[in-house]
Amino acid sequence: MTKKQKIMLLRVVVAAALTIILHFVPVTGAMQLLLYLVPYLIAGYDVLRKAFLGIKGGQVFDENFLMAVATIGALALGSYGEGVEVMVFYQIGELFQSYAVGRSRRSITQLMDIRPDSANIERDGEIEEVDPDDVAVGDVIVVRPGERVPLDGQVIEGASTLNTSALTGESLPREIGVGDEIISGCVNESGLLRVRVTKCFDESTVSRILDLVENSSLKKARAENFITKFARYYTPAVCAGALLLALVPPLFVGGWLEWIRRALTFLVISCPCALVISIPLSFFGGIGGASRAGILVKGGNYLEALADTRTIVFDKTGTLTRGVFAVSDALPAPGVDAKALLETAALAEIYSNHPISRSLREAITAPLDANRVDEVREIAGHGLTARVDDRLVAVGNARLMSQLKIAFTPCEKPGTVVYVAENNRFIGAVVISDQVKPTARRAIDRLRAQGIRTVMLTGDAESVAQAVGETLGIDFIRAELLPEDKVKNVEALLKDQRPREKLAFVGDGINDAPVLSRADIGIAMGGIGSDAAIEAADIVLMDDDPAKISLAMRISRKCLRVVRENIVFALGVKAACLILGALGITGMQAAIFADVGVMVLAVLNATRTLVPVKDEA
């Protein structure tokens, strides 16, 4: 507990103890009032002060005003014990609320405790500990084992493993070495690293992520806006209702004191604390829980919209697939060994920087000797020829084979097909394709199990798109699309949506910025630090795992379920108690439960959103 909370607890205990003692003190009249004023003021002097300041500042109708009027009225009517008890129990509820909210904020702060305190900068061969804000782009910092990486940069010396769990929610370490990019917020687990800084602290990954989480509360969900507007009209309305209850019935049936007592009970019951506190707390907890799982949600409005999503549109490359080309199949001609086919193609491409050339080389585990290759000649748009071990080798597409008048067997498999010939004789074909992410199939299966329609829009060839879509079980596929075509397709899908249903688009956040913005919700693959992804999307998956989408939806639905439970419970109990209080069936004790009890229960229910939602097996 904080110092302020401890003081409040002491005040409540002292006030409660004095009230109990006064029940046994045989005094009446003015002396009894003066004695009861002591615990009343100990418990509620701050409530009276806030009510006075609210009236002075023109913000009259809030919970402090309701409590002040109700308790002062009870004292004026001679119900000294009840007046003090209402104030004491109200402060107990406020203390509990303060503790619960503080604990929730600390929990989320711990989850996002990735802001580094210092950086070890290297200057003139000496290591100096400085504030990360004081490190400039181009400076060299040293990150020791066990330390958190303070700024984004590039490793210039050393090798290690990084714990990225604070950013991605995954405990699997990431290997890193010279030349690799390194991002702030990760923990260096083993080796000493020297890193050249590429971004100042304000633009680093850790600062951007913290800024997103801290500012997420600014974008309120519909439920939060509803409660804000509701409280604005609700409190004046119940005050007017209490006034009418105190003045109108006595004109017809008499009993002024009894109707004033009922009106005061009415005011206590009507206090909207349960909704005003528990609804924002529910969204705050949901956003924090998602952050711990490596899912950055930029506001409660997006978390709420995700719960209403019924269609999810995927980009292919970099989203459902790795975006890295690799050899998927080797098809040697009769009498040719597959290993020899791959080695011949890789040697011929040894000097090329083309992605396909790199894929061929990476398919060979043994080292390649460049001395075996000469007379390399590239033919733009076709491929190349080279002399490998005194053999004339041609590697390229079907147009190259036709140009060299080499008879070959066309390959119909999806992907990029590379044909290989040796001394004008076709020796086989190699299929190079983008690799489907290991979790992509699981992601689609989970979404379909939740009743989500899945769509894939891609600029890739029809055959490749169909192969990937069929492998993953995508419901609807459109291929060979330009960025503007994707936007048109998404707009067509949006027109088919039912009212209140939402559509989400999942892309890499770089090439898909227009369609990310056009969809109801843009979900980007964050690539643990992609600037474009963090800027373009409403939700960012920090570890590029599409399976996290279903987890995000389960978190959002749990959050909305808790919000609705609190709204129905709080309004239901208050409505029942207001009617019973107005009829004189219930007194201040029921009013205390309808205010403090409902608030405590609603806040307890709201804290359920802080409990992590377990990922499905």
pLDDT digits (tens, 9 = 90+) for 385-428: 999 998 999 999 888 999 999 999 998 887 778 999 999 999 99
- How far is residue 599 CA from its own chain's centroid? 27
SS3 assignment, position 519: coil
Provide CB contacts within 8 A for 603, sequence distance 6+: 96, 97, 100, 101, 274, 277, 278, 281
Please say if the pLDDT value at position 610 is more than 80.
Answer: no
**What's the CA gap between 386 and 405, in Å, rounded?**
17
Provide CB contacts within 8 A for 611, sequence distance 6+: 289
Integer CA distances (angstroms), 550 to 151, 301, 427, 553, 555, in order: 32, 18, 46, 5, 9
Q: Report the candidate in 310, 108, 307 with the shortest Cα–Cα distance to residue 217.
A: 108
Per DSSP, helices labelled H in 547-597 are: 548-582, 588-592
Q: What is the mean pLDDT of the chain?
A: 83
**What's the CA gap between 2 and 582, in Å, rounded?**
39
pLDDT category of residue 6 using cuts at 50, 70 and 90 = confident
Token pair recorded at residue 566: 């609190």
Please say if the pLDDT value at position 616 is more than 80.
Answer: no
Please say if the pLDDT value at position 171 is more than 60.
Answer: no
SS3 assignment, position 5: helix
Please say if the pLDDT value at position 110 is more than 60.
Answer: no
Integer CA distances (angstroms), 14 to 27, 36, 66, 272, in order: 20, 12, 23, 27
Average pLDDT of the segment spanning 98-108: 61
Q: Report the candidate in 379, 345, 376, 378 with the shortest Cα–Cα distance to residue 362.
A: 345
Domains and CATH numbers, the chain: 3-109+217-283+558-610 (no CATH), 119-150+152-198 (2.70.150.10), 295-320+437-542 (3.40.50.1000), 322-435 (3.40.1110.10)
The helix (run of H) or strand (run of E) holding residue 196 is: strand 193-197
What's phi and psi for 187, nearest 5 deg? -110, 125
Q: Report the candidate in 320, 451, 583, 553 with the shortest Cα–Cα distance to residue 575.
A: 583
Over the stretch 11-41, which tens digit does the pLDDT of each residue have? 989 999 998 999 888 888 889 989 999 999 9
Integer CA distances (angstroms), 509 to 427, 451, 533, in order: 41, 25, 4
Least confident range from 16-30, 68-82, 84-98, 106-120: namely 106-120
Q: Would you state the pLDDT for residue 80?
A: 84
Q: Would you state the pLDDT for residue 193?
A: 92
Provide CB contacts within 8 A for 425, sequence distance 6+: 406
Bridge partners for 378 per DSSP: 384
In eight-state DSSP terms, residue 219 is: S
Residue identified by tokens 């806006």 is 225
Question: Which residues of 450-528 form beta strands (DSSP E)?
Answer: 453-457, 476-478, 502-507, 521-525
**What's the CA gap between 451 and 439, in Å, rounded?**
19
Catalytic residue among 62, 152, 315, 434: 315
* DSSP class per residue in 99-162: HHHHHHHHHHHHHT----S-EEEEETTEEEEE-GGGPPTT-EEEE-TTPBP-S-EEEEE--EEE
315 is catalytic: yes
Least confident range from 215-224, 234-243, 540-549: namely 215-224
Least confident range from 27-36, 61-70, 279-288, 361-370: namely 61-70
Residue type, 171: S
Token pair recorded at residue 226: 């509803």
Per-state percent for the chain, helix, strand, coil, to nearest 5: 55, 20, 30
Token pair recorded at residue 229: 């507007």
Q: Residues in the chain, how many?
A: 617
**What's the CA gap between 548 and 283, in Å, rounded?**
19
Residue type, 271: C
Evaluate whether 124 touches 304 at the Cβ level (below 8 Å).
no
Query: What is the percent of the chain with per-residue pLDDT over 70, rounded to a whole number?
Result: 87
pLDDT category of residue 170 using cuts at 50, 70 and 90 = low
pLDDT category of residue 511 using cuts at 50, 70 and 90 = low
Q: Would you state the pLDDT for residue 67?
A: 77
Q: Report the candidate in 318, 326, 323 with the shortest Cα–Cα distance to residue 342.
A: 326
Q: Report the candidate in 98, 76, 75, 96 with the shortest Cα–Cα distance to residue 19.
A: 75
Provide CB contacts within 8 A for 583, sequence distance 6+: none
Evaluate whether 59 touches 231 at the Cβ level (below 8 Å).
no
Integer CA distances (angstroms), 573 to 210, 520, 581, 585, 600, in order: 39, 36, 12, 15, 13
Considering the entire predicted model, what is its pTM?
A: 0.69
